[in-house]
Each structure stands twice: as C-alpha cells, then as structure tokens.
Structure 1
Amino acid sequence: MTPKNILNIGFDISNHNNNSRLQVVRLSKKTIQEFSKQIIGHDVQSIEYKPFLRFFLANCLNKSTEDTLGHYLLDTIKDRSRGAVLLECESLEASTLNGIDFIDFNILLSTAISHLIGVPNLDSMSGKFYARFSVKNEDDSDSYLRQAHRRMELHTDGTYVNEITDWVIMQKILEVDVEGGDSLLLHLDDWQDLDKFYNNPLAKQKFQWGSPASKNISYKNFHPIFINDNSDSQPRISFIDQFVEPLNIEQGMYLFEVGESLENEVNTSNVKLLEGSMIIINNYFWLHGRDKFIANKKLHRELLRQRGAFEENAGSNN
C-alpha cells in the first residue's frame, strides 16, 4: 500500500461525479509518451505468445510513474470503501503514442494495468488472457453481452468457473454512432436490501451455475451467492441472473427477488466511458452492468475485457 505522505507521480486522482467511491485516475500525457516509447517493438501478438512480456509492460508503465501507479491501484481495488477505478488518459493522439496503432496501444495499456494488480485468468471465450467483442445494432448471440437494445443486468464475473476472480477490467477501445450504453455500477454496501438477502438462510446455500455454449465451459460450478471467507468477514457477492440454475421453487423465488431488488436499486450509478478508458473493479463487492443503447443501424462498440486474481491468489488458479 502507498504511504499517505507519498505523492502519486504522473497521474491525477479525483472522485467520480456520479459515485464518490469510484476513483478517476487520469494518466498524464507525459506518462503515456514515456510508456509508449518504452514498448515500441512489442506488438499485441508478442504479448499473447510470451507471458513474461506482459509484466515487462507493467514494469514500464509503473516506472513511468516512479513506481506509484501500481501501489495506488492495488491499494484502491482492495479497499472495500472504494474498490473501483475509472482510468483515463490525458492524450491518446498519434504523436503521444509514438506511432503505435490506437487499438493496439490500448490493448497493451490494459495489459500493463492488469499485470500491475495481478494475473488475468484464461478467457474461455477467446482462448487468451483477454477477450475482445463487439456490440452492434443486431445480434443473435446466446447471452446478453452483445445485445444492444436491452439492459444488461447487474452481476459479477466468474460465477460459472472454478477460478478465483478478484477483479475485472472493462475497456472501451472503439465507438461509432453510439448513444446510450453507459456502464452501470453498484457497490455491495450501497445495496439497500443487502441485509435482507444476506441474512436469508438461502444466502449461504450452494447454487448450481452453468453457462451457454459460447462460453466454452463444459462443467457446472457450485457456490453460494454470498461468500465471506476474507479476513474481515464482511459479505462478498458472486451473482449473475442468467447463469445461476435453481433446482427448486424456493431457490428460484429467492433468486427472482434478488434480481428484482438489484434492478430497482436507486444507488446504481451510470458511468460513461471515453474511447481508451477502462473501469477496474473489485469483483466481489462491485456489481456491474450496462444500460441499453439507442437503436442505430451503424452502432458499433468494441470492448476489451480482462478478469483475474490478485498475485497472492493467482497460484490457486493454476
């Protein structure tokens, strides 16, 4: 953790206007220039093939901030009272990126960020440590992820896999003719019905979790919705309405009521992302979703997602 009397170098920090828990980190133009100079010659394919290069990127970015960014990110993401960062860049102009392609640079940047806070899990959809996917006006996929004209309900990631999923990064890398589709965020402690559902006997009962064919996961997973095996014994949550598979009416009605309560929670915040920005959240006490888009035949948004474990938990995933 960064001592309170040490300044953060190469980035500014502020509270988000819509949610004071969400910390806005803005990397300076100088930081981006220094980082991009150091990584010239290391393309996206190289970091996909060579895992150690991902930590090289993280070290380059951290050195550009005199080793303060990594400490700040970990301190914030692990802190229950905050636990979330919206990371933006002061400049992503071609001159600032030293000739690196815009989309490639953003993949490299988010890779550096993820390896400052931990180790990404293998994404079963992409077969890589990250996944890229597009949202367009029309879609026939088997999950809500790419469906533009409906609200993607509040949830956490990693519910249907065995791996520990401590954190999630969601980055916007391209957007064309888009209106709406803001990110939705709710901190667990701001959910007004938390005590009601956490104190229900079903809260600690193991539920069955599955996934559609596109996720490339063949097994079922079993765990309760609420887990509190961390040091402070405060509740954490692992929930998504689409992939939990109740086995009786009692379970089904409990899940229905949880979903209804979350979707009607007034403390949910709308957060707009700029191209090249990313949200980094603690996956166990932040729920996230996406508001619906305004219909437009030319609508196109491309996103990048990473999710993984803190360093101390990464060995358990392997």
Structure 2
Amino acid sequence: MSQIVAKSNRVYEGNDKEMEAKGGKVVRRKRRRTMWEGESCVVCGDRASGYHYNVLSCEGCKGFYRRVVTEENKILICKFGGKCKMDLYWRRKCGACRLKKCQLVGMRPEYVSNREPKKRQKPALPKTPEVKNVQAKRQLFWALLGFDSLLQADQVALIKASTVDASFLRSAYSFAKNPEKQMKQTNKIIASLKNEAIDLPVRRFYDRFAAMKPSLTMIGLLVAMAVFSADRAEGITEPQKVEEAQVKLVKALQFVCVRDNQPKVFPKLVLKLTDLRYLNHAFSNLLKHESNSHLMNPLLRELWDLE
C-alpha cells in the first residue's frame, strides 16, 4: 500500500512543465519560485527575469536592448523632448528614452552576443524599392524633433521640397563608402534621363563630399536641415517653428563636428546645402521634361510635382 501511495505522489518532470499524479488524475504542479521572484525591472518596472547585460531587467527590456545594440545605424529620437517617464506604457511609445534609461541603469553593450541575427522571412508582396525608400524617409521625418507638431499641410510641403535633397545626400554617403558601385547606379539614372546636363555637377558633388569623410550622424543632421527649410517650401503656415528647429539642428551639427575632431568640416557641410539646391532644381527640371514621367510611381509623381 505504501508503494502505491509513493507511486501516486511521484513527480514527472519535463522540459517545459512539471506534472504531478494525484488521485488517478494528472494535474499541473505550481510553478517554482525563482531567485528573482518579486523583483522588478530597473528600466520599466515590469517583473524581472534575471540579470541581463549587467542589469536586473525583464525579458522585454533585454530583447529591446539587444536589438538596438546589434542593429547597425539604429537611430532613436524622442518626440517629447527626451523626458519620458519609463514605465510599462511608455516603454512601447518612446524607444529613445527607453534606451537612455537602459544606459543610465548600467546596461553594457559589450555583454551582448555578437551572433548573427536570424534572417527575416520575406514578405508575401514585397514593395518596390522606390516606394520603400520614400516611406522610410517619411518615417524618419516624422521622428524628427518637432516635426510632428507642425500642421499637416506644412509637413507635406517640407517633405515635397526636400525629397530630392535627401536622395542626393544618401547617394553621396554611399559613394563615399563605395565609389564604384554608387557611380554605376548614378550612370544608369543619368542614362535613363538621356540628358548629361546634370552629370558633371553630380560627380563633382560626390567627389567633394567624399573628401570630407562625413559620418552617418552628420548625414542624418544634414537631411534634417534640408527638411526644415521654410524658405524653400511654398505656403508654410508656421515658418517660425521650422526656423527654430533648423537652428537647433545647425548647433547639433556643429557639436558633432567638434566632438569628432572635424571642426573645419562644419562650414563645408553647411555650404553643401547650397549645392543641393542647384542639383534639386536641375533634377526637377529634367523630370518635368521627361517624356516617360507618366510611367513613374504615383507617389513619386506627387512628391516631385509631375502631375
């Protein structure tokens, strides 16, 4: 009889759960308490699961910090002035302040594994490269400091006026990293337009830009300065807000140049915005006289006023 009782109270342990046989029925056994039971994540206040990257944190903040550290060129910008109170709600709303809190409490990037991340599954209906690039730029503009507080009409006007500038800056940065590959793509674009009037200015712009060796942060600030240019966009309702944002961006660019021991690069980068205006004007004229412009994506036609 004692053997039967002992057998009925035997515990079966599996990989994911523990089961206990009682009274002829198999029931789940209560979860064992861990050494972190009752502890809270020092980042967001959620239930902690252990020490991750030198800090007692939850699984959510652990995964967030790993993604930010392992993804290259990840840029997070707070839309609320960088003063978000980090809790279970705001941790999903503001990645910039969440990362700031992770760093403040002591998370260490060197503790993150350098293993290659898993490849994401391709979407069933992939978007065309042109539309994907435009939507990516739109999301960047929306994240810029103060941009989402502008009137919708002003936002649209600023984006339409700066799309070509942002494209040239991105291409110039790619040229600085890989001149041969980027120039092949540029040659294809110029050849498709069947007009070499813009050929020499573009090549000169790329060469001089590459000579300055700008960082990705500098490129991002230049794109933002191109967006916040009230004098170029027609019909801006609140030009003062746009100008105030541009002043902040200019100061930020100057700070980055000094920090990176490139103070002489700052005035040269600002002057490149003037060169961009010429390229923008020349490129827009070419598109307006392009006979095949009606074959372009409708979103691009609207951005470049080709309707």
TM range (shorter): under 0.3
With the length of structure 1 as denominator, give the TM-score of the two structures. Answer: 0.23
Greater strand share, 1 or 2?
1
Greater helix share, 1 or 2?
2
Question: Greater relative contact order: 1 or 2 (C-alpha under 8 angstroms, separation 6 or more)?
Answer: 1
With the length of structure 2 as denominator, give the TM-score of the two structures. Answer: 0.24
